[in-house]
Structure 1
């Protein structure tokens, strides 16, 4: 059965994570994604290891975001390479890029140049700070934006606590969110094009995305005028909603309403705590967290994690362990949902990747093509585009324009 984006072709000029994360998602949904890479260097993340896939030169970092694509190696700094890309654009629906502002204009590969070739082109630009504004010329990386965009001011333990201070998130969440915003924007633009017949230029910045994903913390500030601070594993608006030490480890207790708090108190053997006016409602528990949390800490520390997880689960009180990544992939729910997938790699044999979480009719939406080797599809793609110009392509290969 055809996938939703079958027949859509994406020319992917992006590299690192935000752009490739977007285009991998589009590839999983059925789009033909042509990944353009430098003939010698390729995508930077191919070398961002260890670990590397067996004896190949590709790092696991690269593998996480490039499933389902066709790689062509073209040097766009050379005029012949630019000409190839322009001819390719005429056959594409979408161009995705994450060069610095104005970086592609000197090659004639910016939106205004390419829409002359393909008037209904959907062109998506991902940058650190957007196409305009005082920071627009700056390069943007996830870590920088987690700091500049406020995320690190609310992540980590308070300054006065042991180990306190700003902390980044353990994965590049700004890049990942940006990739998904880019994907939904592209899909929306394609739907709009189907109605109007017109293309568009999408401007997405990591800074804008980071500010938007502050979510309730942003509106907490906009409503109160007070900047939220770091609370470690606690929640600014819900109590108790944090990690607690048990007698042999840690658990997460995520009490979302007053009934759940009452049931927790029953399991903990302190039912009167739930009827205490200071703690009976979430509003009061938040106001009196410094009184309540130490009591809960003392209670939970008296028994092992298994006791709390089993007893609270039976009573419908949200809780869970803090798993290592190894434990995540051994978890029966994760295994049942098939989140670890196997693919065949032409050099390395069987390889494991993380599945796309989307399901259609209870089937995962994953491309069946592994992450491509550098320039693996140059001959196929350009051979289809120029079926009668083999000598021309050979001359470009000799010049190092293609690989």
Structure 2
């Protein structure tokens, strides 16, 4: 009997040890599993898709791009979605098309009204997202999209102008042309004239007016010594930021020139081969490329204030660099620029990857050191000084950087 009790006690002890060992093994296995982080963005894709998927993960609704709290119609949405269109065309992945379409579906009501948009503001920034509609309408034939396209075109027909015919950047910025405005409005306007204006004379008039915008910017904003272009020009010379002799703002801001470079290569997609202004824009693009290359940092990147790289507070900035990379690569591929500029673009892209791109454990891709915003005038007043540009907010994943980064990645097939 004693032996039976003894053996039973030993069995209980052994069984308990076995249970405990099994439990410890499971807990160890569970702990090991918890260290495996699921990749929400696969790392075996090209950078264009990795960044596009990262943006969709961060901002599931394109109407909320640019760190806003409510859906809105603005230029940053159109910028990122223009990149999404290119990614979709290359991959045929429905995820990207859905991201594009959902924005238009949300922001254009059944009657063609554009939510949050006011034509009376005469704001060139609001034209950019029209590129999304120009892409979608031929595919969907939804009349509401066409109605919205016509609304945006009507803004350009009524936009206030300088005495020579240059668009004011916004109604609240009288007599002012900004480099930004050429990217916001002119690719849309050229595409519209090519595909939606059937009257040849009317289309020609639109093309002439588009080229005039570039002619005027070259005439008034380009610095003869450096070849760089000032952010803004005030015809009235009344703004506090305006040089009293030239009307120019005081500094060369990286992203302003980035907008201008992208405007040129994108307008040339639609400007007819036989138009008299085409060669002039290509000449402007070559002058631009020469000037920008001279101020490229040894890292491949460009500075926030382009010509003052060694000045205290200046920094190597992602949005302008991404824009230049795209403009140079596309310019070479389209035959507008000498092939030497492809090496400039490659060096810039390597600089971005090595210095300003980071990847999280779950695969999300970040673009760091983006200038959040910069402008001229307004309230509080922005004086265009060196101190102003270097002290604006710096953040990661600003759409004014991620969109051009995707476009540059596609052009370089990275």
Category of TM-score, reference length = shorter chain: under 0.3
The structure number with the bigger radius of gyration is 2
The structure whose residues are more often strand, as a share, is 1
The structure whose residues are more often helix, as a share, is 2
For normalisation by structure 1, the TM-score amounts to: 0.24
For normalisation by structure 2, the TM-score amounts to: 0.24
